[in-house]
Amino acid sequence: MRGKKNLWLMLLLMSAFAAASQVESGDWKEAKLFLRTQTQPVRNAKELRLLGNAIEKYFPDTMNRVRASYLWVVDNLQYDCQGMKAKKSRWALDSVLKSRKAVCAGYVNVFRNLCDAAGVECVDVSGYGRSGFSDLVLTRPSFAANHTWNAVRINNEWKLIDVTWASGYTDEDCNSFTNARNDWYFCAEPKRFGWDHFPKDDEWQLLKEPISWSDFYTYPLLYQGMLENNIEEFSPRSVVIHKQVGDTVVFNFKSQRSLNRIIISSRTQPGIYMTDYPDRTSDGYRYVYKIRREGSYDLQIDLLNIENPRGFGSYEVKTYTDIVYWINVRPTNSIAKDQKAVF
């Protein structure tokens, strides 16, 4: 399950913060209104089929059938942290529908069966999902699946959906779950979906040129801020950066969003924290960061926009982390003995 990674920061800023609202994928009004009229209980596979049949009968178009099925799942299931830790997680239909708790296999099972009953072609996709700080540096030499999501066919075109991650988030250690719908994982653009999802079968990358497993596991850790800020490209592309004290790292982000602040911080080195102004480029933003501290630690990058200058003041800012790197910094003029990331 994807852990929540957003930071609450108290900053002394020259302007107030205007939070960007999440843009929903398409018009959800009809699907929401329909589900409000469905008062019958859904406690087992038979009752789920009845709901799916009602969705198919009400909506002539596939997209709204998918929306209604997706909304029902993300609003009615809770991630089963306890079951996941005990390795007794629910995935069978009747068990999930009775308890309303599941891990990814249970989520996709309910969604696929609901889509099937609603006349929507839907398949399960097995693969690897990068979902938290522990995935910052992947050291796995070979692929191993740890997650499942779905693909649906809409107007003869396959779309990717992760109903598990779209349903909410857990804390970092998966002790608790918060239901908070996140439509970034509904019919997601394949390239961006592939930043944190790697399918076992390359076909389900839905890309003309699929990426390799070796490329995937060397990506930095990408969080929701990348989506909130509509970042299309970024550099460096490798999660691990090797430098020495006094060197610089040039961060580049391709985005048409208005972004006028960059925050660089570290979870493993609390003394690293700064806020500054990124440079505007022809297609996005650039920032040159000077390295002042040796050691091995993470660097977390947050981009945001602060508008409406009102003079100096203290403001509480909610910002989603965009991207996280791991940096190995040796002292000035020293020789690197080990080029591996060290935790």
Compute, in degrees rounded to 10, the torsion defined by CA atoms 2, 271, 324, 326: -110
How far apart, in whole angstroms, are the C-alpha atoms of residue 203 and residue 216?
Answer: 15
pTM strictly above 0.85: no
How far apart, in whole angstroms, are the C-alpha atoms of residue 282 and residue 258?
Answer: 13
Phi-psi category of 216—alpha, beta or left, where left has phi over 0 and alpha has psi -120 to 50?
Answer: alpha
- 3-class DSSP assignment, residue 1: coil
Token look-up 């609003």 returns 75
What single-letter amino acid sits at 299? L
The CATH code that applies to domain 6-20+229-330 is 2.60.40.10
| Domain segments of the chain as ranges | 6-20+229-330, 29-220
Rounded (5°) CA angle 65-70-76:
130
User: Hey, what CATH topology would domain 29-220 get?
Assistant: C8orf32 fold (3.10.620)
Q: Mention every residue, 6+ apart, whose C-beta is less than 8 A from residue 288.
A: 248, 249, 250, 251, 279
How far apart, in whole angstroms, are the C-alpha atoms of residue 218 and residue 220?
Answer: 7
pLDDT in tens, the chain (343 residues): 665 444 333 332 222 222 333 344 458 999 999 999 999 999 999 999 999 999 999 999 999 999 999 999 999 999 998 888 776 666 789 999 999 999 999 999 999 999 999 999 999 999 999 877 877 776 766 888 999 999 999 999 999 999 999 999 888 778 889 888 989 899 999 998 999 999 999 999 999 999 999 889 888 998 878 888 889 899 999 999 999 999 999 999 999 999 999 999 999 998 999 999 999 999 999 999 999 999 999 999 999 988 754 555 555 556 678 899 999 999 987 654 444 444 3
Q: Are both 6-20+229-330 and 29-220 of the same fold?
A: no
Local structure of residue 90 (DSSP, 8 states)? -
Q: Exposure pattern of 101-135 as b/e (b: 16+ CB <10 Å)?
A: bbbbbbbbbbbbbbbbbbebebeebbbbbbbbeeb
